[in-house]
Amino acid sequence: MSRIDPGGVAHVAGGEAGSLYAAGQKVYPKAVHGPVRRAKWAILAACLALYYLVPWLRWDRGAGMPDQAVLVDIANARIFLLWIEIWPQEIYFLTGLLVLAAIGLFAVTSLFGRVWCGFACPQTVWTDLFLWVERRIEGDRNARMRLDAAPTTRGKALRKLAKHAAWLVIAAATGGAWIMYFQDAPTVTRDILTGGASLETYVFFGLFAGTTYTLAGWAREQVCTYMCPWPRFQAAMLDENSLVVSYRGWRGEPRGKAKAAGVGDCVDCRACLHACPTGIDIRDGQQLECIGCGLCIDACDEVMRRLSRPAGLVAFETLANLAASEAATAGIAPGPARQVRGMKARQPVRFSRPRTWLYAGVLGAVAAVMLGAFLLRPTATLAVLRDRAPIFVRLSDGGIRNAYTLKLENRTRPDAALALVLDAPEGFRLVVQDSAADAEARPLLALRQDGITQWRALVTAPAGAGLPESTPVRFRLLDAAGHTVLAERSVFLAPK
């Protein structure tokens, strides 16, 4: 691995000696064609379709409920996800999802390198989209470089204007779609377009549209290199068995002209460098700026095909295989023989490793806990809060009364009324303020659909009952068939 360069700052370290700040160097990625590029287009289309279309999916939840399939309803403190409804106190499901996403990211990175960065990260996806627009309007790499170097003319200004206008339209759509996850999509779209939306809506719309335009249009690779924390610690997930975008130096070096004798397969055409969206040279080895998008693979393979050489001079390859190939080809002169020996020395990629099993295990455990918690989540809860001021009330006949606040939370749709009974010693009387009563004169508590109802219960112990300081009691709610639906324990307190 002697070729692996520890540094990766070649393109910014070029500043004049002594300066602690370097002027940015604009990157002009060249369009490439090939399987990696096609995979990137497919993932880009899928991600964008998901992002833009999901808010428009409808889901019938009955009258008075939002009919949007995916909605984070902050005003009403609910998250709607198809048939699932998350209450604020269940926010740990969201936390669990984020934990799953993080561990999933670790697992995928340890297996396949930085595929998240290269293929699915929103920064990559939108930058790719913006680059595509840029290419349509200003042309490919060389045309863009010429255009930027040319003096300002009417044509140049028009092109630039068209590009930024297109970018702003995409950015506005992006910011708008974000808002749609938090408000009803058709309504908020109409409100934004007609000027009827709230100030907050416009602020967040502007915030997300602005960041999309800035980050995908202007900042691009600067986000990955300087702002994003993920490249800084992803090395902890990678090892020599992870697939990473690699230059097979054992095959390419020494570089030289295609027809020269005694040189490797790399013809130093710089196609990989020109295709790179972060402007690095993959031949310098693993480096922080490499987002693992693999576009250099497509670029190099195309050159190799034209030269009738085997593809794969740059490839998704493990560091272990690189080292093995290098060791096997030491001392062999450049040529087909070295290529064959080097490729033969490779071992199948070891996906089954302690590290990957550990990630898979943690992923499975967290997913199992989440699923269990989700399947066992109650659809209704009863909370009993005993009044503390006063702890008890002495009545004129010498009886003792305690008061309780009952909170009935109903997460299901249908309305229902449940009868309340009290499990307590003989003679205790239960009264619920402002409640109806059923045929057996038991308090009947109405459940509100998808909401909380609150009741005040007064429990009276008769005079002379000789009560201890604390008597356990239990409130039970019975359905129409007389089955206990919910139960909650509390205590009845009396003076010493």
Minimum distance, C-beta of residue 264 to another protein, in the bound complex (Å): 22
Between 138 and 284, whose beta carbon lies closer to another protein?
A: 284
Q: Which amino acid is present at 489?
A: R
Minimum distance, C-beta of residue 184 to another protein, in the bound complex (Å): 24
Phi and psi (nearest 5°) for 98?
Answer: -65, -40
Q: Is 396 in the site for another protein (CB under 8 A)?
A: yes
Residue list 444-483, contact with another protein (CB under 8 A): 456, 458, 463
Q: Is 393 in the site for another protein (CB under 8 A)?
A: yes
Minimum distance, C-beta of residue 451 to another protein, in the bound complex (Å): 13
Between 23 and 333, whose beta carbon lies closer to another protein?
A: 23
Q: Is 9 in the site for another protein (CB under 8 A)?
A: yes
Minimum distance, C-beta of residue 363 to another protein, in the bound complex (Å): 36
Q: Is 12 in the site for another protein (CB under 8 A)?
A: yes
| Binding residues for another protein, total number by CB under 8 A | 33
Q: Is 186 in the site for another protein (CB under 8 A)?
A: no
Structure tokens at 368: 């199992």
Which listed residue (226, 351, 357, 374) binds another protein by CB under 8 A? 226
Minimum distance, C-beta of residue 240 to another protein, in the bound complex (Å): 21
Q: Is 441 in the site for another protein (CB under 8 A)?
A: no
Structure tokens at 222: 């600067």
Q: Is 13 in the site for another protein (CB under 8 A)?
A: yes
Window contacting another protein (CB under 8 A); options: 17-25, 36-44, 471-479, 486-494: 17-25
Which listed residue (398, 425, 427, 451) binds another protein by CB under 8 A? 398
Angle (deg, nearest 10), helices 122-138 and 154-180? 150
How far is Cα 56 from Cα 49, in angstroms, rounded to an integer?
11
First-residue to last-residue Cα distance in the chain: 81
How far is Cα 201 from Cα 139, in angstroms, rounded to an integer?
36
How far is Cα 90 from Cα 78, in angstroms, rounded to an integer?
10
Closest CA to 193 of 208, 178, 182, 205: 205
How far is Cα 77 from Cα 7, in angstroms, rounded to an integer?
49
Q: Is 368 in the site for another protein (CB under 8 A)?
A: no
Q: Cα-atom radius of gyration of the chain, to the nearest Å?
A: 33
- How many CB atoms lie under 10 A from the CB of residue 183? 24
Between 75 and 261, whose beta carbon lies closer to another protein?
A: 75
- Label residues 367-405 b or e (16+ Cβ within 10 Å = b): eeebeeeeeeeeeebbebebbeeeebeeeeeebbbbbbe
Q: Is 7 in the site for another protein (CB under 8 A)?
A: yes
Those residues whose C-beta lies under 8 Å from the C-beta of residue 85, and which sit 6 or more positions away, are 78, 79, 411, 450
Q: Is 403 in the site for another protein (CB under 8 A)?
A: yes
Minimum distance, C-beta of residue 397 to another protein, in the bound complex (Å): 7
Counting Cα atoms < 13 Å in the Cβ hemisphere of 15 gives: 11
Q: Is 22 in the site for another protein (CB under 8 A)?
A: yes
> Quick one: which H or E segment has residue 260?
none
Residue list 132-151, contact with another protein (CB under 8 A): none
Which listed residue (195, 233, 414, 434) binds another protein by CB under 8 A? 434
Window contacting another protein (CB under 8 A); options: 3-11, 156-164, 263-271, 486-494: 3-11
240 to 2, 188, 237, 244, 462: CA distances (angstroms)? 14, 50, 10, 9, 78
Between 5 and 85, whose beta carbon lies closer to another protein?
A: 5
Q: Is 433 in the site for another protein (CB under 8 A)?
A: yes
Minimum distance, C-beta of residue 452 to another protein, in the bound complex (Å): 12
E strands in 212-296: 243-247
Report angle CA 68, 73, 75 to the nearest 5 degrees: 140
Between 265 and 284, whose beta carbon lies closer to another protein?
A: 284
Minimum distance, C-beta of residue 307 to another protein, in the bound complex (Å): 31
Counting Cα atoms < 13 Å in the Cβ hemisphere of 442 gives: 18
Q: Is 64 in the site for another protein (CB under 8 A)?
A: no
Site residues (CB under 8 A) for another protein?
6-7, 9, 12-13, 15, 17-24, 222, 226, 387-390, 393-398, 401, 403, 433-434, 456, 458, 463
